[in-house]
């Protein structure tokens, strides 16, 4: 399998984490980076041993040696950058949320299919070994019939009216920024849409939500989700059945999981990985491109459309 040349869109923190992990992907070559400022692109390229550094993203999209782009900019920019990359004939791995509306998501999915290119939302959590082990335990019936799923994700982000997280003109709010994780993790285990029963949220002075709680039903499973900018939550996932439960600490970056029957620990798993875990999604993208696939069966286009639909429904209840 030939190595693919990656072009990195952004020289920010998330892009840095991805590049750090790309060294663990045997079929990936870190080839190019683009930033708004040439100095930022140059510094990033030097730090990670990248061959090409571009000012402006179109220059990267126009490089014929780039096979696939990883988009790690703030999510309000994702749609246009993914659109431009696909139009330039590049495969796309785009950070979550891939867009800020279901309409934008539909456009990208159709364009990728028309162009015969891979489009994949970067839900790295789905590829983590501990997450997959928890799913295996669940499918094996180790906790009996699933009854409750509880997931939260929150970190304190100081309020700044012009900051991206709190700016409504930059698609601010904790639902898009952090809520995608609880929604996605719940769907990974339940595999059914959420019928929203109750949403409680706090809306800050800029008009975006900085704290949100979602309680609903997915079939026969009660789902309790939370996201916030106000404090660090446990950031754990709990899968609770009628015979036991599974705990996934820091589920968004899951390193381990534990299985309990009542108060007794009966099984545990730790992946002992040396990486952060971003390379698993890179490996999936490389494999799909090599096989001529346009869509991951782990993170499907339907997943991305579903999450946009759920976010829109929750947002409507907040507003």
Question: How confident is the model over 212-271, as pLDDT tens digits?
Answer: 999 999 989 999 999 999 999 999 999 999 999 999 999 999 999 999 999 999 999 999
What average pLDDT does the segment 305-319 reach? 94
pLDDT band at 294 (very low <50, low <70, confident <90, very high): very high
Beta bridge partners of 30: 6
pLDDT at 191: 83
Alpha helices in 88-232 (DSSP H): 102-115, 129-139, 174-177, 180-190
Instruction: Provide the annotated active-site residues.
Output: 96
For residues 95 and 78, give the distance between their C-alpha atoms in angstroms, rounded to a whole number. Answer: 8
pLDDT at 126: 98
pLDDT at 7: 98
Average pLDDT, the chain: 96
Q: pTM value?
A: 0.96
pLDDT at 30: 97
- Counting residues of the chain whose pLDDT is more than 70, the rounded percentage is 100
pLDDT band at 42 (very low <50, low <70, confident <90, very high): very high
pLDDT at 3: 92
Is beta strand 245-248 parallel, antiparallel or unpaired with respect to 4-9?
unpaired
pLDDT at residue 201 greater than cutoff 80: yes
- Counting residues of the chain whose pLDDT is more than 90, the rounded percentage is 96
Three-state secondary-structure class, residue 274: coil
For residues 296 and 122, give the distance between their C-alpha atoms in angstroms, rounded to a whole number. Answer: 11
pLDDT at 62: 98
pLDDT at residue 1 greater than cutoff 80: no
pLDDT at 192: 86
pLDDT at 2: 82
pLDDT band at 196 (very low <50, low <70, confident <90, very high): confident
Three-state secondary-structure class, residue 64: coil
Cβ-in-10-Å burial (0-12, 13-18, 19+) of 93 comes to buried
Among the residue ranges 84-88, 151-155, 167-171, the one predicted with the least confidence is 167-171
pLDDT at residue 319 greater than cutoff 80: no
Strand order in the sheet with 221-228: 195-203, 209-218, 221-228, 146-154, 237-241, 245-248, 256-261, 264-270
Handedness of CA 89, 95, 97, 99 (dihedral sign): negative
């Amino acid at each position: 399998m030939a190595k693919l040349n990656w072009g990195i869109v952004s020289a920010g923190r998330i892009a840095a984490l991805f590049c750090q992990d790309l060294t663990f992907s045997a079929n990936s070559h870190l080839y190019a980076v683009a930033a708004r400022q040439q100095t930022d692109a140059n510094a990033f390229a030097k730090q990670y041993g990248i061959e090409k550094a571009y000012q402006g993203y179109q220059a990267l999209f126009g490089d014929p040696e780039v096979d696939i782009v990883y988009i790690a900019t703030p999510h309000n920019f994702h749609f246009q950058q993914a659109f431009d990359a696909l139009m330039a004939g590049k495969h796309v791995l785009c950070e979550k949320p891939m867009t800020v509306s279901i309409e934008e998501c539909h456009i990208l999915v159709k364009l990728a299919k028309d162009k015969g290119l891979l489009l994949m939302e970067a839900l790295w959590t789905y590829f983590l070994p501990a997450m997959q082990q928890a799913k295996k335990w669940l499918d094996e019936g180790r906790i009996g019939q699933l009854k409750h799923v509880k997931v939260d994700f929150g970190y304190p982000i100081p309020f700044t009216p012009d900051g991206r997280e709190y700016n409504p003109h930059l698609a601010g709010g904790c639902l898009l920024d952090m809520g995608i994780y609880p929604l996605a993790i719940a769907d990974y285990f339940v595999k059914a849409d959420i019928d929203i029963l109750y949403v409680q949220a706090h809306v800050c002075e800029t008009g975006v939500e900085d704290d949100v709680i979602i309680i609903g039903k997915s079939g026969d499973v009660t789902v309790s989700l939370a996201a916030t900018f106000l404090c660090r939550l446990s950031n754990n996932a709990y899968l609770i059945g009628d015979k036991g439960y599974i705990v996934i600490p820091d589920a968004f970056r899951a390193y381990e999981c534990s299985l309990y029957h009542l108060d007794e620990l009966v099984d545990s798993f730790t992946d002992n990985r040396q990486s952060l875990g971003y390379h698993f999604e890179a490996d999936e993208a490389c494999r799909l491109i090599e096989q001529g696939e346009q869509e991951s069966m782990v993170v499907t286009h339907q997943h991305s459309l579903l999450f946009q639909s759920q976010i829109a429904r929750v947002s409507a209840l907040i507003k």
